[in-house]
Amino acid sequence: MINAIYQRKSVRSFAEDVFTNQDYQFIKKEIKNLNELTGPFQHKFDFFYIENKEGNPNESRKIGTYGFVRNAHAFIGGASLKDFKSIVDYGYLLEYLILKLTKREIATVWLGGTFQRELLSDKIKMNQIIPAITAIGYESSKKYLKERLIRTAIHADSRKPFNQLFFEEDWTHPVHENHHLSKVLDLVRVAPSASNKQPWRILIKDKILHLYLDRTPNYGGKLDFDIQALDMGIALCHLEVGLKEEHIEYEMYEDSKLEPNNKVYVLSIKLHI
């Protein structure tokens, strides 16, 4: 899964090829498996699969992607409560699926604010939201101007350095790249996020990793849910992948005492090392 984290990138231009039967069966099986899993806050979701039949490029417009996606073969999404923790779990589980698709060389792109949710109203119940969907397909060898402009505008290939994201003991002591947990932390550092804001922060103290949201002011205000909660779920997914790959035992829990004024506490991970 670590290779998938580093290999994955957002793809908005897909080849017109439809999925092979083997890949189609793989995707359907993984969605079924995903629907049996829970996130760190114990939420489950019913993820759906909407196929773009015969590679019809107009299907992207039907699902309301405003032309940001070209030739997607299908879309995957699900319904969540508008609650912060539920959306964290949603991001965590959907990223887990995306990494599995990446290993299969199936391209993806997170769509949070660039699709019309009302067109999928039949997929939700009262007090639910579709926080994000992913378009999927085989990557096109041709990159269109709009895709290149989007990647440039959000600095898609750049990430903040360690000393802006990770801290030890308190917020005045940044972690550097030679830290003994650097391999794990780097997987969080390179995670995708809405508009590449990278809002996650980790404070390491007494063998515990405390995950926080450093909220981007005035971001996502037009949405009626916390879109940056998705980013925290993605970060948790990457963090857990790293811990498992490094064979570090851990447990996740909530510490009600942790809530600094300028950051939103999300979750703590106690390491057994």
What is the number of structural domains in the chain?
Answer: 2
Tens-digit pLDDT profile for residues 104-131: 999 999 998 767 777 788 888 888 899 9
Q: Which region holds residue 173: left if phi is over 0, alpha if psi is between -120 and 50, else beta?
A: beta
Is residue 115 included in any domain, yes or no? Answer: yes
Tens-digit pLDDT profile for residues 157-177: 678 999 999 999 999 999 988
| Whole-number percent of the chain with pLDDT over 70 | 87
| Residues 185, 132 share a domain | no
| Residues 139, 62 share a domain | yes
Q: Note down the domain range covering 17.
A: 2-149
| Residues 181, 267 share a domain | yes
Average pLDDT over residues 124-149: 79
Q: What CATH number is attached to the domain comprising 173? A: 3.40.109.30
**Which pLDDT belongs to residue 135?**
92
Tens-digit pLDDT profile for residues 198-255: 999 999 999 999 999 999 888 777 777 889 999 999 999 999 999 999 999 999 999 9
